[in-house]
Structure 1
Amino acid sequence: MLDTQNSRMETIKELVCDILELEEDEVTQTSLFKEDHDADSLRAIEILATLEKTFKIKIPQEELPKMVNLDGVYGVVAQHAGW
């Protein structure tokens, strides 16, 4: 089960880094997308849409305020994917 969780977290990190145009070593689990990486609201929506498509889930836009870093994104995705 831990391998599955790590695999999902790695996939999420790859997607986020690709969208934010960052190297994976620049992003930590708790680094803030907006404050630390200059992400704007359009990038946040793009992250949300990409996660929905990748994991075949629906995430309400009201969840965006929780998705400020990788930990937050994983928590939201896990909740809506039923992990």
Structure 2
Amino acid sequence: MTDAVISEKLREDVKQIISEVLEVEPAELSEDGSFENDYDADSLLVIEMFARFERSLGVKIPQDEMIELDTLPAAYALVARHSAGEPVSA
């Protein structure tokens, strides 16, 4: 993973999107909780997260990176990496 820095505002936005998709309060999301194991997220919910990142934050993350999206730190890293202007593969 990249060491791209993510602003506090962007972290809050990412956490808000994920909490809405998982239908939990942001405070209920643990930094080390697994979306799949702890919040019962399936692949459709992960796809919804990706769609909302793109729609709400203007961040396009390649679909082949969906497998990485299982925790808040992973979500922050993905959004930071792709909002930092790194190339997005097709």
Q: Which has the higher helix share?
A: 1
Q: How is 1:56-75 mapped onto 2 (pairs within 5 angstroms)?
A: 56-75=58-77
Post-superposition, which runs of at least 4 consecutive aligned residues in structure 1 deviate over 4 A? none
Match of 1:42 in 2: 44
CA deviation map 1:13-70 (0-9, x unaligned) = 1110001100112111221100000011100000001001112122111111111111
How many residues are paired up? 80
Give the gaps of 5 or more residues in structure 1: none
Higher relative contact order (CA 8 A, sep 6+): 2
Give the gaps of 5 or more residues in structure 2: 1-5, 86-90
Match of 2:88 in 1: none
TM-score (normalised: structure 2): 0.82
TM-score (normalised: structure 1): 0.89
Distance 2:49 2:19 in 1: 10
Q: Classify the secondary structure of the residue corresponding to 2:59.
A: coil
Distance 1:78 1:12 in 2: 10
* Aligned residues with identical type, % of pairs: 34
Cα RMSD, aligned residues only: 1.4
